[in-house]
Structure 1
């Protein structure tokens, strides 16, 4: 079974079988101060598995997601995504991995205001495929899935925070990435929309055989995950209810 390991625990032996889609080993990160966010962090996630990470504010949950996406560097350790070790890549190659293999739901949305909603959602496809018509059709289908039917020609200025979050989720899932990362994906959504988006998120992970990592403070959101891990100074501890 995939694991989260605390500092000081004996590292479990690897078991035979398909390699995990996400394999994190001995990861450590400090911030100026100096203050250590986490150390000796191990995490493996298999295809079709969704993991929720919870913990107090300031322990490094969002920083961990940024490291997994290759947007930030760890002080030590390794991150392997779908067989590719991020630490071995230059920035151009990392960017290619993000485009092709990672979907990221940012807490701050990062929706481009000068693009239509359809263009925002289709962007990950447009960066890797010349078939613009197919990308637009896929983007419209994803907008439908998150409850924004017929809104593809609109712009971000006309949307509420909850609607922007739905666009961000549609964009993260549109290219069926190997690794899906989400930072508080339902933080700006009403309960009904949150339930719909969580179901879509879980379906994308399990149906596409992706690995999913969701950082959340919401017990409702965490409940959909296959495992819930608590992040603290010494690593990840699996929560068993």
Structure 2
């Protein structure tokens, strides 16, 4: 069973503008795949479809064998909470919660064991190098520290799938390189399947595979190629 399986995915927007058609791919547990492509081609839309946040016009997406299309919104929400972790460019960390509280949020949505969630959040903060910062407030952190918290939050509930949308787009190159290395090691150590949508060649370079999204599907990309913007 593949961690992520996509078959025959087609998506149009607006006045019947086709983003992509008959898109197909499989991603295995423990594999990190980067998806690149021109601005406006639909990279973020594809990520939203993989998460069950948007619908394709046709085709199938399966997460660990579970097809998304037949699920109602409540079932999709449960699947996201239990099996998917998200890392966003804008972090989406709540500034007036502590780091520990931010990281524990996914666990609170799954099970109400506050004590266990606190322990697990502390473990994840230690893993991303913030062991002593659990009681600090997110509003006091740098961009690199915020992204470390975002990675800890995405992984805390041990999801099977990690989806990342331009996860280092707001960071300087040196900080971005450190965060990418941390992200890749954390994902692989858990055997999760990860998809990174990016316009950055440096970000794509950490992946096991790089795929370029085009209007006719996904094609293998050269690691040495310059990645188009957006």
What is the TM-score when the length of structure 1 is the normalising length? Answer: 0.86
Alignment-derived partner of residue 75 in structure 1: 57
In the alignment, the residues of structure 1 paired with residue 57 and residue 127 of structure 2 have an alpha-carbon distance, to the nearest angstrom, of 39
CA distance in 2, matches of 1:78, 1:119: 36
**What is aligned with 1:13?**
none
**Aligned residue number for residue 202 of structure 2:** 220
User: How far 1:135 sits from its partner (Å)?
Assistant: 1.7
Give the distance between the partners of 1:193 and 1:143, measured in 2 at CA.
17
Alpha-carbon distance between aligned partners in 1 of 2:189 and 2:148, rounded to the nearest angstrom: 19
Aligned partner of 2:226 in structure 1 is none
What is the RMSD of the two structures over their aligned residues, measured on CA atoms? 1.7
- Name the counterpart of 1:109: 91
* 2:176 equivalent in structure 1: 194
Tell me, in whole angstroms, the C-alpha distance in 2 between the residues paired with 1:174 and 1:217. Answer: 27
Cα distance in 1 between the residues matched to 2:205 and 2:104: 30
| Structure 1, gaps ≥5 residues long | 1-18
In structure 2, the residue corresponding to 1:42 is in which secondary structure? strand
CA shift for structure 1 position 193: 3.1
- Name 1:162's counterpart in structure 2: 144
Which deviates the most, 172-181 or 121-130? 121-130
Which portions of structure 1, spanning 4 or more consecutive aligned residues, are displaced by more than 6 angstroms?
none
2:191 paired residue number: 209
CA contact (8 A) 1:146 1:196 kept: no
Normalised TM-score (structure 2): 0.89
Distance 1:218 1:175 in 2: 28
Candidates 24, 29, 40, aligned match of 2:11? 29
Whether 1:95 aligns to 2:82 is no
Residue pair 2:89, 2:168 contacting (<8 A) in 1 also: no
Larger CA deviation: 108-117 vs 85-94: 108-117
- What number of residue pairs does the alignment pair up? 223
Structure 2 distance, partners of 1:35, 1:222, is: 27
By how many angstroms is 1:76 displaced? 1.0
Note closer, same or farther for the CA distance 1:161–1:33 as it changes in structure 2 (3 Å cut). farther
